[in-house]
Homo-oligomer: A and B are copies of this chain.
Amino acid sequence: MSDVVSPLAPDAFPTLPPIAGVQLATHAAGIKYEGRADLFLASVAEGTVVAGTFTRSLCPSAPVDWCRRVLSDGNRTARAVVCNSGNANAFTGQAGSTAAALTAQTIADALGASPDEIFLASTGVIGETLPEEAMREGLPKLAEKLGTSSPDGWEQSAAAICTTDTYAKGAYRRIDGCAAHIVGIAKGSGMIAPDMATMLAFVFTDAAVEPGLLQRCLDKSVERSFNRITVDSDTSTSDTVLLFATGEQIDDDFTTDDDPRLPALQQALDTVLLDLAHQIVRDGEGATKFVEVTVTGAADDTAAKTIGLAIANSPLVKTAIAAEDANWGRIVMAVGKSGEAADRDKLEIWIGPEQVTAQGMVFPGYSEERATAHLQQNEVKISVDVGVGGGHAKVWTCDLTHGYIEINAGYRS
């Protein structure tokens, strides 16, 4: 992790409760970093159900290939997830697949499980083979260290999966109306920093959920959280979100889409994933502003999201926000380039509470001074109504600063 912590970081790592049926371990295997843990293992109770979503990259990493293959074979039960930092095991050819299989086999042997119950993730440099010796020695030691999922254990786990992150990321929510919990940890700094690749999240609940239902809940939450953040528009080879339901806290399974408790489960999951997603944006490379973009009046919700991401991905909008410059012409530009229907002559833009435009031109009472005052805060809100329909969406990003160039134009050492 970086020595300089993001100015947008939370005050402290949250206190995450134990999740029944989950045990944690970390270990310093010396894969790339000196003097810090770089292996993370969570074992989960027998019968744990798993769901996953992965990068859309057509050049995915070997661990992504592994997890996809296991899930597409219909295997929806898990015994563990293991993750290393410092090496993405991406674009490593046959050696990469072999290393992934070896990792799964080693952990499966230690736990008395099948390799197809072991889920994998790797994050770090692309194109370098995983150091076999370090993995071969480190993995059994990692497995020996498994212990209860304590608050300290969660924090150490969240730290072990970091690369260029400036702080460890965790989130927690109790499922309203039942005794179960959801805990998640994540890494990511820059939506995407593919040579430090990249966004990972591991989420655990001690509720019991039927596999298909668990996957649907996860897909919905990811669409509302991780799919609505951007730092630099680049997509990694390794993005992975895994959700494990141990069922160790409550016996009464969630099995159907009309379970009256389901909205509470979905809401808790949404909250945890959105919290983690926001923490990733707040750790965006070089970020000094956390930016929420709200789009209303679009043709539909999908169009609203596209317009929101056009604004949130625009280097010109993001550099203007970095400079605390109320350069709203760039927001007009981004709406125009999104390709989605927008009525230029009804377009309304707000910077924070300040209305900037109306009816295709600057709003009569617009005060650049007030807009600038809003931009001088750490938390910036941009709202746009494009005047054609009822679609709406929120997306989140950070500003684009010299810090981003500094981090990414630096050598890989």
Contact = CB atoms under 8 A, between A and B. Distances in A.
Interface of A: 55-60, 88, 90-96, 125-127, 192-195, 197, 232-237, 313-316, 319-320, 322-323, 325, 327-330, 332-342, 344-345, 347, 357, 359-362, 400-402, 404-406, 408-412
A333 B236 contact: yes
Chief secondary structure at chain A's binding surface: loop
Contacts of A236: 333
A194 B333 contact: yes
Task: Quickly give the copy total for this chain.
Answer: 2
A402 B401 contact: no
Given A58-B339, A341-B58, A342-B59, A192 B333 contact: yes
25 contacts: A58-B336, A59-B342, A88-B329, A91-B357, A93-B345, A126-B329, A126-B333, A127-B357, A127-B361, A195-B316, A195-B327, A195-B330, A233-B314, A234-B334, A234-B337, A235-B337, A237-B333, A315-B404, A315-B408, A319-B405, A319-B408, A319-B409, A323-B411, A325-B411, A402-B405
A140 B359 CA distance: 32
A200 B14 CA distance: 53
A96 B360 CA distance: 10
B323 A234 contact: no
Leading 4 A-B pairs by shortest Cβ distance = A126-B329, A59-B336, A57-B336, A93-B361
Nearest to A236: B333
A355 B189 CA distance: 30
A332 B234 CA distance: 11
A59 B328 CA distance: 13
A111 B59 CA distance: 60
Contacts of A405: 319, 322, 400-402, 404-405
A315 B314 CA distance: 11
B361 A92 contact: yes
B409 A322 contact: yes
